[in-house]
Each structure stands twice: as structure tokens, then as C-alpha cells.
Structure 1
């Protein structure tokens, strides 16, 4: 006999993930609710008393009769009134860190993310993930993630299962994810399940939340540079619902108020719009449709314009075939486009490009018993990279450029197994088999001795649509073990292999909207990543505190880097500008987190190193990529003074970026040109550190429909001038701003000019809900 049901938040109608369900007096035989809040539990006899509990909610006890076995039962839990002694900041089981098989996985509850002090008051998902151990940033104000010594393009960022190629606004200062529309986010740094693949480093799995099942509701905020609004509610009376969320900046509106005429015609804005519609097709079937549209535009005096946009769509069908059998089918399409315009009568041009991925994924899950689960499936993805198209304006001296399109198909089979070998020992094993094929239409070039050289092209070969151009395949085994030393202490180890069939060719570690993506082809092989990790996990003080220590070693093959002086944006022979070789990284990550009480938060320290060795770069010797930052310390503290007042503080300290500074200069055509060493990234920026603070006031909840709060935050509290870039140039008259070519020159000298982005930066945001 099996009881089936669903656990739901009575206020929001959202499914509760990880709720505990067990028969009274038999806690050890209980189960937890899945991603849809659903569960199934075997019972030996009836009647029985069923207990449903979830952290921060009132428990529910219900008597189960024989007629309850023929249907799925909904259980609505009410949130508890949280006292000052028990402020919960997490949405998972108290002992999950110790008991689960997950290793290298991090989750930050959305309520915690919203309490973290933010740049311009804009709560940001990706910047919050940078506060976790093993995750580093490219520099000031950017949202690019560098996970365990890998570049940002080696992260798979997906929204409801659909990939997002550029997850940032404003050149990486903000992420594309509006926190009001999100349900949860998981970061996999190590033990990635076999159902995920296509990237060599990590997975950022973001889920949009579903709408309220009971009533129409709205929430939003008015901030320093943007405003947002989210509306959700039920559709009919059968359990269907919707949510629509939008956000837009108005920085360009303030520019029009400027007294500087050169600024009034500038444009600087972004917007994003997301929606999710969920439909109940019966007791066993659920259909969700998710969509995201976001766009950025930067325009300067009607002379220069740069815009880019994401369009992401996903359709998911979930079917509960039986109490132990589940089927999920997903279709998705993601498209990224950018365009650059330069209005000049002599050198004007219009440059555009787009790339996309369309896919289908099916997953079957079978539970054979309480300690054995099998999951298998197939996935097929089609990549299409449009030609780079640069069209000159009339009478422009710029030459027209158009590259060949790039297309690829990646098919994958995967199988995963979860097994409790004994009460103390559990394992998760899986394998993924990827089959990649580059297909036409396209053009392939040949070179002497099969070595790409821009000056020694022999011939070109044209391929028709769907014609095979290149084939790669690879097995990706994954295995993890967890040994439970006692109820509060466990040791885990894992091995993961991943293949990646597309990369970014760029000399910017921060990531730019116009970065060139390249597919695996005859000359560019797919990346292979092998990672082994070992960790110790300990909970204490009744699970109020968590302590973890993880070590890892990652080996990379066929990673690419640019030749010295490479030009990759407009060439149809991009392989001539790239070199490939090996990489490796290793590190130790420690995390101490407090989960409950008036004061919550964590402190993390990571020691890590990243290396590359590529023939033709740095004289063939090992060198550090720019994102190698050996020391990384983060501190996050949230404190509740009362039900109305709370505060948050974050502190970040990291080693400086690895860079190449000039070792001298020389004269060429009456100009001073910097001279660089043959060795790459031998120098470093100064160490980076910053403290942020915020104070939040919420109006007392007296049963009113309108609820509001004010958030006051300061980014870079003590005004640290962290360098964004250095410019090596000639300083005239000891004035770095000297620009008058007709002015009298008293002196010139070589100098270094540092640019920093943000110093002491206060902001205010009003948030509301009704």
C-alpha cells in the first residue's frame, strides 16, 4: 500500500521541496518531497497517522484511511511565526549536508540572497554565488563566475532547463535573473548528476517559481536605477497558475536631465521580462511553459550603439506513472544576439551576430525501493551560430565581412544510480555518453601539415546543409560515495568527467557581449575535464552550525587560448588565432555556516591555484590564467534586531588578478608602444577587498494587504579603490587628463593611470507586496 501526496505552502501555493513525510512513530522510514513537492510512502497497515513537517512551518498530522490510497492528497502547511531565537535561512533538511550524497553542491536560499547588500540596491543572484567557496569573480562589479580554476564559458547556466548564453546585464555588472521571479538556485561545482552535461566545470541550475494557487498577488520594488514588478495567481480552479515578472532600468532617463549636452542623447538601459504558466492536466500530469526575454542597449550621442539580448524558452511535461515511476520531457530553445552600430561617414558600419541552441530531453526515474533509485534518459541539442555579418555604411572605408555559419548536433545517453549500500555507506554512480557532430552548411580550410596558419591556407572545402564535417564522442563517468561516521559527521569523495563542445575565444576574462563562441571542429577539439574531490562534513549544536572542508584536483585537456596579437572577431579562419593545450587546478575550500538564531551567515576561505600549459604561449611554460587568485575570503552576516529591523554585512578579500604588465617601451612611427615579456601573466593587480552593508525596515504585519519595506545599502563601505584597469601611457604636464593638443607642454614622462569603478556607493530601494 502506498500513500501519494503533495506538500504545498498554504500562503503562496508553492510546492515545498524537501518536506519530511513519515508515519507516526516511524521517522526512520520517512521520505522527503521532490522538486514538485510530491512524495510516495509505503504503509504496512491502515488506518495510519501521517506526519508532514517542514522547517519554518507548522507540522500537519492526518489520519489515513483506505479510500485515501486511490488519490493524491494535498497537504497545505502554514508558515510559523518566527521568533528571534529561530530565524531559519535555509530551505532544506537540517542534516542534509551530512547525510546527502551531494558534494561540491551549494545552495543559497532566495531570502538570504535578498538580504545580502547589493550594488545600486539591485539584489543579484550570480554575485551572491561569488560569496561561496570555490567561486571567484573577474573583478569589480562583474557577475562572471570562475569555478574551481575554470573559465566562465565552462559553466552551464540554465533557466528551467534551458541554457542562457550571456547571463548578465550592463557588461556583467548585473545578472539577468530577477530574484522576485525565482524559486531556487543550485550550484554544482563537483559531483554533477549524469543527466547534466555539455560544460566542463559547473552547473548553475535556476528555477522560476510558480504562481499562487489561491489568489492574485503582486510584489515589486523601486530602486536607485531600476524598478521591478511581479504578478502571479491562479488560472481557473484546477490547480493551474501563472507568474509574470518584469524589470527595467531608467539610467537613460536621468541622463536627459544632465546639463552636459553630450550626455543628453546617450542611452543606457536594460530590461527583462519572464513568465511561467503551469497547468494541471490531471492527477498525474503537469505542464509548465517558461519564457525569458532580456535586452541591453548602450548608445553614445547617436554615433555609437551596442545592444544584445537573450530569448530563452522551455516547455516541461512531468508525469507520475506510478508511485515509484516518473517521466519528464523537456523541450527548449535559447537564442542570443548582439548588434554594433557606428555612425560615421568615413568609417561607419553595422555589425550583427546571433547564436542559439535548441534541444529535447527525456528522463525516466524508477524507485525500486527506499534505498535504490535508477534514472536514465536521452538528450539531443542543436547548435546554430550565424555568420558574423559586418556591413559598411555607404561611402565607408570599412570592408564588408561575412563569415561561414557553424552548426553542430550533440546527442547524449545517460544513466544514473543511487544506492544505499549499508546504513552508513551510500553511492551515486552514473555515466553519460555524448556523440557530437559538426554539420553543414559551412566552410572548412586546409593548411600545410594540418597546422592552422593565417598566411598558409591551402584550400577551402564547402559543405552542404546537414553534411557531416567532424565527429567526436566521449564517455563521461561519474561516481560518488558518502560514508556516515555518525549522525553529524560524514566523509565524501567523488569523480567526474565532462566533455565540452563549444568555447569562447576571448582575451577578456570579464566576458563581453561580443565574445566569439566557437564550436568543436577539425582543429578545435572538445575540452575534457576530469575532477576528483574529497570532503569532510560536520554539523553541530543541533544542526545550527555546518562545517565543511573540501579538496579537489581538476585536469583539463584541449583548452584554448589566444595567440599573441590574435584577432578573432571577424575572421573566418578563427582556428589560426587560437592555440590549445592543457590546464589543471587544485584547491581547498572551507565553509563555516550558522543556520539559525538572531544572527546567521557564513565565513568561507578558499586556497586554490589554476594553471595552463599551451605550446606557443609563454614559451611553452606553465602560466596562470587571469582568474588565478590563490586566496579568497568571504564573510556574510545577517542579523534580525526585531520583526521590523534587520541588517546585513558582507566582506570580500581576494588575491589580485594575474596580468601582463609592460616591461618596457619602444618607438614606432613616432609613437610609444609598450613592450611585453614572452611570459604571460607574470604580474598581479593589488589584492582586492571590499565591505558592503545594508539596513532593512519592514512595516509591521497587522493583517493589511499592502506590505512594504525600505532597504538602505552601501556598496564599498570604506571606499576602497580597487583597480579595474591600468593604462600605461605618457603623462603630459603631470596631468593625466591633459587633452589639449595646442596647449603648451612643459614636461612629459611615462606613467601608469589606474581606473576604478565604484567607491563609496549608497542606494535605497522600496519593496512592496500586496
Structure 2
């Protein structure tokens, strides 16, 4: 009843926002912003209170802003934050006229380490978060990396509940979900292909990032559109005082980031760039078949921040990244992402905040084959444009409300295959696919008692597949390769083709057993209106994205989680155990021998079914001291059942890996030397091996059964190590460090693929000739592995 009362008050307040704002401005309040003196960056979570009235205190928001009521002046105002020197300032009547900037200096303490955090040390116990990880960028940079290239997504693979597609890939499979069930967004804009180099590296330059929030359990109501996880990434804002820079020169790429004031102390910029130079090394080869090839990727990030008065902030962000693979000027494959967003934040009053996000995300690929007989150009573009508005209202010290709306427009262009002049290939083009989705959400977090807290949310999604497009009608009413097309319905632009909608409730609770021990439970329902149909679990640039439509309903995912969280030794150690169960409806999979790339009737090549997943995640983490890191173990299973696949029986997708063990350790020997170590062990991925072979036209081919993924690769394990040496700090502006890392320290040959082929003369790469004839022939299995012992060196710098 109390919650209903607060909700009604909120709705009335929402309708009278202009009056609320006017009333707030008439109150005698002091406004200000708390900044880091050295970095000129806002400090969220700083304490602001009156010396003579300790009960009248507030904390700064994410932008360092605060508003505090004034009782009588003059009075002493205290601003404090962990790791910074306390500031005491006498406030006079004249100070009320305009906001004041307060600068905090880092506290000079003779301690081994000072940890500065915007959250409580026991936040993991006291918060309502389940399955959420906030990954500091510095932690990501300290993890040993492939080719020395620090990578966000590969770092997330080291967390419990996250599986990989195989050696060297950045695909994420979270709690039994496929890679397309993860929402990756930069400053609110989604990224459809987050990989460079066919999945070996992600598109996120760590120097350009300010923070990463990873949700895989309790997903708040303001996020939606994916059923497994949300990876919310924020680009770094530039400082307002001086020009700064950082970068690195590595084994295969170099990067540079520069930020600083833009036009005045009210605006700033941050620009980052990164490029590989593998193609430059190819040019050094004397072999024409090698030096005529191209292989590179690059990306650019930019963020511009404008302070519009005392209450408003505007940021403009953009990312562009591209890959290209060219072979002897005959074959070329390229793909690119272009993501842009504009965000407006406003402090409506002391307790109410508003955010509006406008974004556009575009992904495209192009394949060129230069051949006089079979040349062609093949390409596709898909895009999403969205507008999201969110209000937050601090109803009381114990209750926080938020609500908003989110509209999304999907535009998937036709897949086009254009033959070159004189080519024997026939031209081909699919029809476009378009969709429009509206979402409304509301959530509330309240503390019922000091021991019991609850977070409740509700999201409603309404989706329409729209024209311009064509919808087919099949014999028998269901699409299949054998079904005859009876009719083709042509729809004009924005004409409705198919409608889906659904309610997505969210609920999370936390019960505090004592100061360092809590129990948590949550339930989440999500709908997903687009999926990927692909033969590869690792993800390819040419993957086929499919919008929900007449024959492809949206995925519905339900997840129940239960966890226990414990802190030890004054919050130095964290221990947690989380169990989950997930239920999936309407997951698609490919028919045996499906052709999905060049067909306008893709619904005939896929089947839809159900699935479930369950698991237990154990985590031991050390956050403080010279040695930090974590040890995690996950036991998980994933099952699917789709009529028409694997004899209609339950089967495992390829990313089902029951056992997953991860160790991450970072140690700081002194101010100049540090080291990192990671070890991973997982069960081998599920695959289908042949049960025999047969011969056609004097060629032996493998024979497969109808059971899908009934075999497994050998277990996967690997150890990586790194050492970092920092130049002595002599007070100079330029500071550098060297990182030496080794990927796969003990040279484990982890399988990447198996080929079932004929072995001639007991040689894998035998080439017959007149002088070297074939004397023996047998069926064989050839294993391909990518990396063994792989060292790398990177020089990092900042100024």
C-alpha cells in the first residue's frame, strides 16, 4: 500500500514537472559540483554536509553535482571522499547565487595502496545486484592479452557464467545464451558486430573507455531487447583544464588517445584511434602471393562534452571501425560499424533527473571477387535508430523511482549479389526487412527495512514488422524447402505486416543476514525481436540477422537466480555463489544443409524450438592489497529441442561447456614492477563427428548421423602471463611503461577445427606426381590449432 501511495504521488508529480522545478528553484539551496583537482573529472558519491547539522547531508551524482538545503548562513560546508583530502569552506549569502566548484586533492598518505571507489566496499553484499559486474578499465589493462592487444570482451570471458566459442575468439555465450542474445552498446547505441579480425579482437579500444557495466542476472527494466545479457559501455569524457594523452605501440597495432578542453572550460573532447599494421609486414615479403595481400583493421572514437548552464550537459559520441581482407587484388572482404549517439542530461530538481539518448547504429559488409568468368559484388547493410528518455526520482532516502520510453526503428537493407560484366553468375537480391518497436518501462527500488530491500520493474514492448517488403504464403501454411509458394504479399513502406507484444516483469530482493552476509533472488523476463541464423557459433561478418515476422516469433527468455554473498576480513575478500535457471521459447536453429545467405525465403531454412539452461557460479575475489584477482568455477548445462533436428530430441548447442575454471592474479611488486597471470580450463565444445564414411566418384566422404552435437572437442586449457615495467616517475609529463606478455605459456595445442579427409602415403600435405605416386590411402582426421607459445611486447605511454 505504501508503494502504491508513492507511485500515485510520482504520477501526479510527473504531470506537474514545471511547477515542481519552479518550486525547487524558489527554495534556498546551495548548488555545486565536486571535481578531482588533478584530473578535473567529476567525483560521484562524494559526501557533502554542514558541520553544525550532520543530519542535513547529500552525496554527489554521477556528474559530481549536488544540491543541499541551507538553514542559516554563514555556515561551514564539508566535502569528503575516500582517498582525497577533506575540504571545509565557509558559505556566505552571496554564494547561494550560483553553483560553486569544489576541488579535492588526492590525499598524500604513507600507505601501500589507496583504493578510490564510488561504491561501498561491501556493495556486493548490500546492493540488489545479481549477476552484475562493474569492470574497471585498469583491471582489463592488467590482464595478459593475445598479441599484447588488451581486449574488453576477452576479459569478460574470464568471468563466471561466460563461455567462449573457441580459441582466439571474442564471442560471448552468457548463461546458456547464444552470442546474438547479448546487447552490446556504446553510450546507449547498439553494436551489431563487435569483432575485428574475424573475432580475434573486439572493436572496443580500452583507452577510449571510462567504464563497463555487465548484466547477466538481474537486468534493470530500463534495458531490454536481448534475453541473455547487457554490456553497457561508456566512452571517456575529456577533461576541461588541459590537454592529455595516452597510447601504446604493440606487436600488431598502435593506438593514441588525446583529450582536453574544446572551446572553453565548459566543453571538452576525447579522440582515440587505433590501427593494425599486419599489412605493412606483408609488404616486406618477397613472395608476390603474400606481399599483394591486405589485412588490417582500424577504429576511431570521439566524444564531445558541453556543459549547458548549471543543470544541463550534452554529449556527442561517435565510433567508426572497419576491417579489410584482400587476397592478391582478386578477392576482398570488408566490414564496418558506424555508431553515433547524442545524450542530454538535466538536473530537474534536487531529487529528479532526466536523460535523453538519440542514437544511430549501422553495420555493413561487402565481398568483391574479381574474376572474368565468375566475378561479383555482394553486400548488405543493417541499421537501427532509436530514441530513449529516462526520468529518475529520489522519492526518499530509501526509495528510488525511474521510468521512461524507448523507440527503435530497424532497417535491414536487401542482400544484393551483383555480377561483374561478362560474369556467368546470375544477379540476386532479397527484399528489405524493417521493424518498429516501442518500449515503456518503470522501476522502483526501496528499502523495506534495514535488512530487506526490493527492486521491482515492468517493461512493455510492442513490435511491428513493417513494409516495404514481401511476405510469402506457403502450401500447408508452414514454410519448408519442399513447400510450394502459393502467394507473395507486397507491403508498402510502413505498412504493418506482423505484430508482437509482451510484458517483461523484473523482480529482485536482498535480505541481509548480518553485516557481511546476504541472500539475493531475482526473476527476469525479456523478449528479443531479432536473431542470427548462422552455421558458425563464433560469429562471422556475413551472419544473417533475422527480424521477427510472420513465421519467426520473438524469443522469450525467463531467468530465475538465487545467490549468497559474503565478505571477509574487512571486505578484502568476496565470496559468492549464484545459481540460475533459464527457459527459452522460440529459439531458431538451422535445418541440416541449410542455405541462408542467398535466399529471400530464409524462413524455409530455419526451425524454431525451445531450450533451457542451468548452472552454478562460484567466485572468490580479492580486491585490496598488492595481490588482487579472482578464482571462479562454473558448472552449467544448455539444452535445446527443435522439431526436425536431432530426431526431435534434446541436444546441446556448440557452446555447451559443463565445466569452466578461471584464475586471474595481478601482483604489484613495487611502483615500477607488476605482473599478471591467467589460467583457464573448460570442457571441450559440443560438436558432431562422423560415424563412418562412404565413397562417391572415387572420393571418400564422411558420414554423419542425425544426432546433433553428440561429441566433444578435447578439454581446453591455457595459461597466460605478463610483466609490466614502468619508467621512473621523475616529475616529467611523459610517462612510459613496457609490457611483456606470453599467450599460451606452456604451448598447449588446443584444437580450433577438425578436418575429416583422405590421408595419402601417411602424409597430411601429400601432393601426388608422376615421380611420387599414391601408394596408400586411408580416411583420417586432421586437427588445426592456432597458437602455442606466443610472446608479445607493448610500449604504453601517457602525457
Distance across 2 between alignment mates of 1:226 and 1:622: 44
Q: Provide Cα deviations, 1:265-320, integer angstroms capped at 9, x if missing partner.
A: 01000000010000011001110000000000001111211100000000000111
1:461 to 481, 485, 489: 489
Q: Structure 1 residues 650 and 304, CA, compared in 2 at 3 Å: closer, same or farther?
A: same
State whether residues 82 and 116 of structure 2, in contact with CA within 8 Å, keep that contact through their aligned partners in structure 1: no
Q: Cα distance, 1:32 vs. partner?
A: 4.4
2:344 to 313, 317, 321: 317
Written as runs of structure 1 = structure 2, the 5 A alignment for 1:301-380 is 301-380=328-407
SS in 1 for 2:112: coil
Indicate the residue corresponding to 1:623 in structure 2: 651
Distance across 2 between alignment mates of 1:623 and 1:474: 28
Indicate the residue corresponding to 2:448 in structure 1: 421
Indicate the residue corresponding to 1:682 in structure 2: 710
Q: Cα distance, 1:609 vs. partner?
A: 0.7
Written as runs of structure 1 = structure 2, the 5 A alignment for 1:746-761 is 746-761=775-790
Distance across 1 between alignment mates of 2:438 and 2:681: 42
Indicate the residue corresponding to 1:190 in structure 2: 217
State whether residues 34 and 60 of structure 2, in contact with CA within 8 Å, keep that contact through their aligned partners in structure 1: yes
Written as runs of structure 1 = structure 2, the 5 A alignment for 1:146-185 is 146-185=173-212
SS in 2 for 1:322: coil
The answer to whether the aligner puts 1:521 opposite 2:549 as a matched pair is yes
Q: Structure 1 residues 671 and 166, CA, compared in 2 at 3 Å: closer, same or farther?
A: same
Q: Provide Cα deviations, 1:213-245, integer angstroms capped at 9, x if missing partner.
A: 110111111110000011100123342100000
1:745 to 754, 768, 774: 774
Q: Provide Cα deviations, 1:406-432, integer angstroms capped at 9, x if missing partner.
A: 000000111111111111111111111
2:257 to 214, 230, 240: 230
> Could you tell me the TM-score, scaled by structure 2's length?
0.93
Q: Provide Cα deviations, 1:197-227, integer angstroms capped at 9, x if missing partner.
A: 1111110000001001110111111110000
Indicate the residue corresponding to 1:512 in structure 2: 540
1:496 to 521, 524, 527: 524
State whether residues 161 and 175 of structure 2, in contact with CA within 8 Å, keep that contact through their aligned partners in structure 1: yes
Q: Structure 1 residues 92 and 379, CA, compared in 2 at 3 Å: closer, same or farther?
A: same
Which deviates more from structure 2 when the two are superposed, residues 477-486 or residues 354-363? Answer: 477-486
State whether residues 454 and 509 of structure 2, in contact with CA within 8 Å, keep that contact through their aligned partners in structure 1: yes
Q: Cα distance, 1:327 vs. partner?
A: 1.1
Q: Structure 1 residues 34 and 620, CA, compared in 2 at 3 Å: closer, same or farther?
A: farther
SS in 1 for 2:198: helix
Q: Cα distance, 1:48 vs. partner?
A: 5.5
Distance across 2 between alignment mates of 1:664 and 1:327: 64
Which deviates more from structure 2 when the two are superposed, residues 665-674 or residues 3-12? Answer: 3-12
Distance across 2 between alignment mates of 1:300 and 1:463: 41
Distance across 1 between alignment mates of 2:395 and 2:95: 23
Q: Provide Cα deviations, 1:460-498, integer angstroms capped at 9, x if missing partner.
A: 111111110000000001011111222211111111110
> Gaps (5+ residues) in structure 1?
none
State whether residues 325 and 364 of structure 1, in contact with CA within 8 Å, keep that contact through their aligned partners in structure 2: yes
Written as runs of structure 1 = structure 2, the 5 A alignment for 1:697-736 is 697-736=725-764
Q: Cα distance, 1:670 vs. partner?
A: 3.1
The answer to whether the aligner puts 1:200 opposite 2:230 as a matched pair is no
State whether residues 732 and 747 of structure 1, in contact with CA within 8 Å, keep that contact through their aligned partners in structure 2: yes
Aligned length: 770
Distance across 1 between alignment mates of 2:212 and 2:287: 43
State whether residues 700 and 779 of structure 2, in contact with CA within 8 Å, keep that contact through their aligned partners in structure 1: no
Q: Provide Cα deviations, 1:709-748, integer angstroms capped at 9, x if missing partner.
A: 1111111111111110000100111111123465411211
- C-alpha RMSD of the superposition: 1.9
Distance across 1 between alignment mates of 2:431 and 2:439: 27
State whether residues 90 and 595 of structure 1, in contact with CA within 8 Å, keep that contact through their aligned partners in structure 2: no
> Could you tell me the TM-score, scaled by structure 1's length?
0.97
Q: Cα distance, 1:53 vs. partner?
A: 4.0
Q: Cα distance, 1:73 vs. partner?
A: 3.5
Q: Structure 1 residues 594 and 54, CA, compared in 2 at 3 Å: closer, same or farther?
A: farther
The answer to whether the aligner puts 1:545 opposite 2:568 as a matched pair is no
Indicate the residue corresponding to 1:658 in structure 2: 686
SS in 1 for 2:155: helix
